[in-house]
Structure 1
Amino acid sequence: MNNDYDALFSVVSLAGIVAIFYGPWQKLCADYCRQIIFEQREKLFDLAADGKLEFDSGEYRLLRSFLEKTIRFSHELTVYRFILHQVSLRYDSDRGPSVGDVLMAIEDRDTRKEATMIIKKSSRALVTSMGARSLLVLAFVAIVLPIRQLGGLTGLSIKMRRVERAVQHEVEHAT
C-alpha cells in the first residue's frame, strides 16, 4: 500500500514540475531576457542622445533593429529552432552585413566598445534564456557544470561565445 502512495506522489510531483517548467518558467525566462535587452536598447539610445552615434546613421539603425528583433522573437527562440536556423544558413548566400561588421564600422573606439558591450549583454541574455527554457540544456548543464568546476572542459566558454555569435546572426536575419 505504501508503494502505491509513493508512486502516486512521484507522478503528481513530476506533473507539477513539468507544469511549472512549461508554464510560468518559460514566461519568466522570456520576460527576464526581454528586460535585459530593453535596458541595453536604452543604453544604445543614450549613446545616440549623447552624440556618440548619430540617430540617422546606419550603425545606430541596424543595432537598434537587431535589439528590437531580439525583443520581438526572444520568446520563440529555442535550441531546436536555433539548430535548424544554423543549418539553413549554410544555404543562404544573401546574408547582408552582420552585427559584428556594423560594430567594426563605428569609428570612435570608445563608442564601439560601449556598443559591443550592449550587443554582448543582449546576446548573453538571449542565450541564457534559450538554455534555461530547454530541459535538454538544463540536463546538460547539470552534468557538465560540476566537471567544469573541477577543472575540466576549459574550452566550453569559447564554444559558448560561438553560440552567442550564431544567435546574433539568427536574430539579424529574422523576418
Structure 2
Amino acid sequence: MTLGFEGIAALLGLYILWAWLYRQYRIDKTRAMLFAQRHRLFLLAADGRIDFNAPAYREAERLLNALIRQTHQMTLVRFLVMRPFLDHAEQRDEASRIHDAVESHPDETVRDELREILTAAGAISLAQLAMSFLLTWTLFQVAYHIAATRRWLENSGPQRFSRQIRRLEDEALVG
C-alpha cells in the first residue's frame, strides 16, 4: 500500500466517522439539550406560573423551536459566511422583542427562569458552533499533514537519501 492510498483511506474513514456518526451524535445531543430547555419552559406554563399565551412564553418557545429546527445547520463556517448577508437591524429587533417580552412579565422569579432558559439555549447553540468548527478544523489539519508528509516522502524522503548515498558510493568507487 502506498502512503497516498493509505492517506486517502484514512481521510475517508475519518470523514465517515465524523459526517455520519459523530456529527449526527452532536446534532442529536444539541437537540436533546434544547428540548430539555423547551420542556423547562413548558413546565413553567404547566405549573401555572406563566400563561401559554403570554408574550414571553410565545417568544421563548418560538426561539427554542427555531434553534431545534435549525441545529443541523449550526456551523461556524456557515455562520461566518452568512453573517455579512444577515439583516442586522432585523436581528436587533428580534432580540429586542424577546427581551421586552421577557422583561415585561410581572413575576420576577419567572423572568429569572426565562432568562436562565434562554441563556442556556444560547450556550448550547454556541457549543454546537464551536464543536462543528473544531471537528472541521481537525479534519482539515489531518488532511493537510497527510498531504505534506506524502509530498515530503516523494520529494525529499528516504528515496532521495538512498539515491544520494548510492551516488556517493559510486563516486567513491570511481575515485
Q: Once superposed, what is the RMSD of the aligned Cα atoms?
A: 2.6
CA 1:137–1:113 in 2, change beyond 3 Å: closer, same or farther?
farther
CA 1:138–1:50 in 2, change beyond 3 Å: closer, same or farther?
farther
Which has a greater percent of helix?
Answer: 2
Counterpart of 2:112 in structure 1 is 113
User: Which SS does the other structure have where 1:75 is aligned?
Assistant: helix
1:134 shift after superposition: 2.4
Is contact 2:44–2:50 with CA below 8 Å preserved after alignment? Answer: yes
Counterpart of 2:65 in structure 1 is 68
Distance (Å, rounded) in 1 between the aligned partners of 2:117 and 2:2: 52
Residue of structure 1 aligned with 2:49, choices 45, 49, 52: 52
Counterpart of 1:157 in structure 2 is none
Is contact 2:41–2:117 with CA below 8 Å preserved after alignment? Answer: yes
How many residues are treated as equivalent by the alignment? Answer: 137
Residue of structure 2 aligned with 1:29, choices 26, 42, 53: 26
Q: Deviations over 1:96-143 (max 9, x none)?
A: 34233332222322111111111111121111112212247755xxxx
Residue of structure 1 aligned with 2:39, choices 37, 42, 49: 42
Unaligned stretches of 5+ residues in structure 1: 140-175
For 1:116, give the aligned amino acid.
R
Distance (Å, rounded) in 2 between the aligned partners of 1:134 and 1:50: 39
Q: TM-score, normalised by structure 1?
A: 0.66
1:54 shift after superposition: 0.9
Residue of structure 1 aligned with 2:80, choices 80, 83, 87: 83
Counterpart of 1:13 in structure 2 is 10
CA 1:83–1:111 in 2, change beyond 3 Å: closer, same or farther?
same
CA 1:7–1:36 in 2, change beyond 3 Å: closer, same or farther?
same
Q: TM-score, normalised by structure 2?
A: 0.66
User: Which SS does the other structure have where 2:93 is aligned?
Assistant: coil
CA 1:93–1:27 in 2, change beyond 3 Å: closer, same or farther?
closer
User: Which SS does the other structure have where 2:21 is aligned?
Assistant: helix
Unaligned stretches of 5+ residues in structure 2: 139-175
Q: Deviations over 1:85-105 (max 9, x none)?
A: 432345545853423333222
Computing the radius of gyration from Cα coordinates, the structure with the larger value is 2
> Sequence identity of aligned pairs in percent?
24
**Matches for 1:161-172 after TM superposition, within 5 Å:** none
For 1:124, give the aligned amino acid.
A
Counterpart of 1:144 in structure 2 is none
Is contact 2:76–2:130 with CA below 8 Å preserved after alignment? Answer: yes
User: Which SS does the other structure have where 1:52 is aligned?
Assistant: coil
User: Which SS does the other structure have where 1:134 is aligned?
Assistant: helix
